[in-house]
Structure 1
Amino acid sequence: MTLPTIRAARPDEYDEIARVWMESWVSTQLSRSSDGLLSDLRARLRREIDGGWSLFVADDHGTIAGMLALHLPTCLLDQLMVAPVYQGRSLGRECLAFTRQQLPDEIWLKCVRENEKAWRWYEREGFAFEKEELNPQTGFTMKHYRWRRAQGA
């Protein structure tokens, strides 16, 4: 099995990307699927792109298997979402490797504290916990992580 290709997202894919984002988020069991959530994510996607996101997709022969949103000026991995049917197939690790190509020296990210599966994975991938902060917009406590390239690497 070959892994999907990671490439820049196209505007005509934004609705499908929002759907994959929602399905991945819902798979954490921290939210329920709904038309309202999908609408909010569609709007946020466009707003974040206008605000500087570089948006990428994991393309499996025309099927969007995941999405990756980077804010390059601040070295932020803002979103890494894998569609539930692709979870457990190393696609997240492939997306993270792609992120390290884009941000080779340092990466910051935030992860919902209750999403233990995700933050434990980031810790195994070499990210160091920095702090926790409440996100007043969502009500979730966010764990902040940082990865730095090893000296001499």
Structure 2
Amino acid sequence: MTLPTIRPARSDEHDAIARAWMASWVSTGLSQASDSLLNDLRARLPREIAGGWTLFVADDRGSIAAMLALHLPSLLLDQLMVVPAYQGMSLGRQLLGFTRRQMPDEIWLKCVRENEKAWRWYEREGFVFEKEAPNPVTRFMMKHYRWTRTNRTSETKP
């Protein structure tokens, strides 16, 4: 099987990207699919892009297999969401490799503490736990991680 192609997202794909985002998030078991959640994600995409996101998709011959949102100025991997049908096929690893090419020296990310599958994967991929802090909007406790090319830790970024 050929892995999907990672490319910049187009504005006409926002609905499909929001659906992929919801499917991936729901697969964590931390939320249920709903029209309200989908509408929130649809509304969030243009706001986040205006706020600095660079948005990519994994395109499987016209189907959105994953979304990747990077905030390059702050070296933040903000969202890496793989549609359930594509999970377990190394697509996440492909997206992470792509991210490392965009931010080759340092990457920060936050992961919901209850999403153990995700944060354990990031730890296996060389990310180092820095701290926990609540998200003021969602109220989820977030685990903050950092990856550096040299895999050495230093002071926590503000």
Matched residue SS, 1:114: coil
What's 1:6 paired with?
Answer: 6
Matched residue SS, 1:6: strand
- Matches of 1:14 and 1:57, distance apart in 2: 10
- Matches of 1:73 and 1:108, distance apart in 2: 11
Q: Which runs of 5+ in 1 are unaligned?
A: none
What's 2:98 paired with?
Answer: 98
1:123-138 matches, cutoff 5 A: 123-138=123-138
Quote the offset at 1:136 in angstroms.
1.7
What's 1:87 paired with?
Answer: 87
Q: Deviations over 1:100-135 (max 9, x none)?
A: 000000000000000000000000000000000011
What's 1:15 paired with?
Answer: 15
1:35-54 matches, cutoff 5 A: 35-54=35-54
Which residue identity lines up with residue 9 of structure 1 in the other structure? Answer: A
Q: TM-score, length-normalised on structure 1?
A: 0.98
Q: TM-score, length-normalised on structure 2?
A: 0.94
Query: Which sits farther off after the overlay, 106-115 or 131-140?
Result: 131-140
Q: Deviations over 1:38-66 (max 9, x none)?
A: 00001111100010100000001111000
What's 1:29 paired with?
Answer: 29
Matched residue SS, 1:81: strand
Query: What's the C-alpha RMSD, in Å, of the aligned pairs?
Result: 0.7
